[in-house]
Every structure is written in C-alpha cells, then in structure tokens.
Amino acid sequence: MQHIAAILSKENFTKEDIIELLKAEGDDKLHLFEKALDVKQKNVQNKVYFRGLIEFSNICSKDCLYCGIRKSNPAVRRYNLSDDEILDAARFAYESDYASIVLQSGELSGKQFTKRISKLLDQIMKLSDNKLRVTLSCGEQSAETYKEWFDHGATRYLLRIESSNRDLYYKLHPHDDKHSFDTRISCLQAIKSIGYQTGTGVMIGLPFQTLEEMANDLLWMKSIEIDMVGMGPYLEHVDTPLYQFRNDLLPVVTRFDLTLKMIAILRIMMKNINIAASTALQSIDKLGREKAIKIGANIIMPNITPGQYRDDYRLYDNKPCTDENPEDCKSCLEIRIALANNDIAYGEWGDSIHYKQS
Ligand code: SAH
C-alpha cells in the first residue's frame, strides 16, 4: 500500500511505476481506482458524453490477424449501408440529443470512397444545422483525404495504433506494405497536424503482449499528446489467424481487469483527455462500461447502426447488443450510467479539453 501510495503521489510515472500499478491487487488496486476517479471528477466532471456509433460498412481491404471482418474471412456477410440509412441514423442521434456521432467502417480507399464520405458529411451538417460533431474511424487514408474530410466538417478522427510496439504490431498484422507500422504512425501525425481532435488506442491482453509493452503504450500516448483514447480487451474471433493462440491468452477476466487499470492509469497521466468505455468491455462483464466510467472513462459510444446489420460487424466473438435497436440502447444506457453516478451530457459536444487547451 505504502509503495503504491508513493507512486500515485508522483507527478509523472515511469515505465516501472506503471508496471507496478498494472500489477496492483486488493487495496492497492482500489487506491489506484479512487485516485483515477478523483482526477476524473476534478478535470472532466462526473459526466458521460455520447457518440452515436454508425458501423456503416464491414467491407475491408485489410487482413489484420485479430479482426473478424478481415478481408480474407469468407464467412462474413458483407454490407454497406445506403446513404439514406446512414443519414437516418445520424438524424436519430441528432434528435436524441447525442450531439456527436462516429462513422466507422472497414478500411476502403480511393476517390469514390473519399467523395462518398465528403458528401455524407455535407448532408449530416445540413440535417443538423452544423450542430452534430462527427468523428471518423475509417482507417488509413492519404493526408489529402483526411484534409478533405476535415474541410467537410469532420472534427475528430480515431485510428488505434493497436500496439505501439513495432515487433508486436507485426505479430498482429501481415508484414507487408498494406499493414505498415510506419504508415500508421504517419497517418496519426497527419491527422493531428490537419487539426483534428486525434484519437488512438490499443488492445489489451493480446497474444505475446507484456506488461512492459502496455506501460509503453501509455507513455507513448502521452508523448504524442493524444486527445482521445479508446482501449479495449482483445477478444478472440474464431475465424482469424490469431485464434490459434487462444490457449496462451490471459483469462478474459484478467484482460478485463487490466483494461480497467490501463484506463485508470491513463486518466491520472492525461487528466483532461476523453477516454472511451469500449464496447468490448461489455462483452466480458455486463456492467463493464459502467465500471470503466467509475474509474476514469467519460465517453460511451451507443450503437446506432440499424439492428439488422449489427451482427455482421463482428470484430470479435460475443459482441454485445447485436440484437438491439438504437432506442433500446438509449434507455438501457440511461439506467446504467445513473447506476455509475454519472450524468449523461445530452446536447453537449464534449470536445476534448486537452485539445482545446493545446
Ligand atoms: N477500419 C478502422 C476501424 C477498425 S474496427 C480502422 O482501421 O481504424 C475498430 C477497432 O476494433 C480496431 O481498431 C481494433 O482495435 C478493434 N478490434 C478489432 N478486432 C478486435 C478483436 N478481435 N478484439 C478486440 N478489439 C478488436
């Protein structure tokens, strides 16, 4: 306890400090979570901001070894929402006072895709009187494409690094031009320099991953001054190459616990960023997202993809809520967030304070 208290009172954590915190159990762990909650309350309040998540297509040109919608998985039924379906979902978010949406998809590139997103952005700005904030999460694109989307009204971009360790990255991705670690880093740099609120994140409990690499992920996020983070437990998917290592993984409850600790530590390290309570947490523990909210997270992404497609955006096995509708998600979350003693900030953008102050 003494030892953890000494670490928690420091201004800056070293890699060794973070590893100690990731190992904390019992009272030590509670102490970490209490400190994170205190930092959250003082810096971003007891508030949760909604980002309505529209998973608009699962068509993907990449072959990430962990991901259920990878190009080489023939078992996936591919879909692509129509523009009207996307706009209806955006309108639902706007009328429900969510204030922000996320457009996420598998990774496609090219002129046609770029123009489609630009046009959708124009239409979303129009239907919401410029009041909906839009986050894009459409993978690696050229700097010109990122700029074009920014000019059409997108203000936030999410691109998880997945692991900031190059060697581990290449154990999770094919080693080719389409899956280059350096390209991913330079995409993040381009996104940031264009002026987006920039988000990244990692998976936790990956095969081969060590506590040291997790600690370095957090230090890396701080070093690049990220504005938003989404981190979730790695969950195996039966139709992916990484599934072969399923017997070497940490138990899911340990991956869950490590994710909560990563969120808590990051909240202490980066006091005023936005941190998401990832959906993957909820597939391990029904109250997973609420638990994350209680120890530092302040963003939830209610799924507003039309119900009939949700089952096909299956990144990992046992993805929760695939049989629900947007309205069900809303009322379910209202109860859950109240249980976590937080208020839903309806109608507020909840821009990253870190971004505004930088
Ligand atoms: N094409 C976009 C969106 C990818 S899906 C992009 O490349 O950014 C969003 C996130 O889901 C990924 O970044 C990854 O971190 C997560 N994900 C994919 N497969 C997963 C799995 N098996 N377990 C946990 N998270 C996974």
Question: What is the distance between the alpha carbons of residues 138 and 188, in angstroms, rounded to a whole number?
Answer: 12
Closest atom, ligand 1, to C-alpha of 237? 22
Mutate to test the pocket of ligand 1, among 160, 209, 284 (most ligand atoms within 8 A of CB): 160
CA 110, distance to chain mean position in Å, is 25
Cβ 159 under 6 angstroms from ligand 1 = yes
Partner residues linked to 47 by β-bridges: 343
Cα 229 to ligand 1 centroid, rounded to whole Å: 13
Confidence of residue 2 (pLDDT cuts 50, 70, 90): low
- Contact of 57 with 81, CB cutoff 8 Å: yes
**Is residue 326 packed enough to be buried (19+ CB in 10 Å), middle (13-18) or exposed (0-12)?**
buried
What values do phi and psi take at 84, rounded to 5? -65, -40
**Is residue 200 classed as helix, strand or coil in its secondary structure?**
strand
Model pLDDT, residue 311: 87
Model pLDDT, residue 329: 80
By alpha-carbon position, which residue is closest to atom 4 of ligand 1?
A: 106
Percent pLDDT > 90 in the chain is 90
Closest atom, ligand 1, to C-alpha of 140? 7
The DSSP string of 230-285 is EEEE----TTSGGGGGGGGSPPHHHHHHHHHHHHHHHHHHSTTSEEEE-HHHHHH-
Alpha helices, H only, the chain: 2-8, 15-23, 26-44, 83-95, 111-127, 143-151, 166-172, 181-194, 211-223, 252-269, 279-284, 288-294, 307-310, 326-339, 353-357
Partner residues linked to 204 by β-bridges: 233
Cα 236 to ligand 1 centroid, rounded to whole Å: 12
Closest atom, ligand 1, to C-alpha of 230? 15
Closest CA to 43 of 211, 261, 268: 268
Per-residue pLDDT reduced to its tens digit, 253-263: 999 999 999 99
Question: What is the distance between the alpha carbons of residues 61 and 174, in angstroms, rounded to a whole number?
Answer: 13
Model pLDDT, residue 330: 83
Question: What is the distance between the alpha carbons of residues 320 and 303, in angstroms, rounded to a whole number?
Answer: 10
Percent pLDDT > 70 in the chain is 99
Rounded to two decimals, the pTM is 0.97
Residue identified by tokens 């971003």 is 44
Model pLDDT, residue 180: 98
Q: Which two tokens stand for residue 82?
A: 């129509």
Average pLDDT over residues 154-160: 98
Cα of first residue to Cα of last residue in the chain, in angstroms, is: 35
- Contact of 321 with 280, CB cutoff 8 Å: no
Question: What is the distance between the alpha carbons of residues 257 and 254, in angstroms, rounded to a whole number?
Answer: 5
Closest atom, ligand 1, to C-alpha of 278? 25
Cβ 66 under 6 angstroms from ligand 1 = yes
Cα 105 to ligand 1 centroid, rounded to whole Å: 10
Average pLDDT over residues 129-157: 98
Q: Please determine, for residue 1, whether its predicted confidence score (pLDDT) is greater than 60.
A: no
Cα 129 to ligand 1 centroid, rounded to whole Å: 31
| DSSP 8-state secondary structure symbol assigned to residue 179 | G
Cβ 230 under 6 angstroms from ligand 1 = no
Mean pLDDT of the chain: 96
By alpha-carbon position, which residue is closest to atom 19 of ligand 1?
A: 67
Q: What is the CATH number of domain 2-357?
A: 3.20.20.70
Model pLDDT, residue 325: 77
By alpha-carbon position, which residue is closest to atom 7 of ligand 1?
A: 139
Q: How many Cβ atoms are within 10 Å of 117's Cβ, its own excluded?
A: 23
Closest CA to 118 of 138, 99, 100: 138
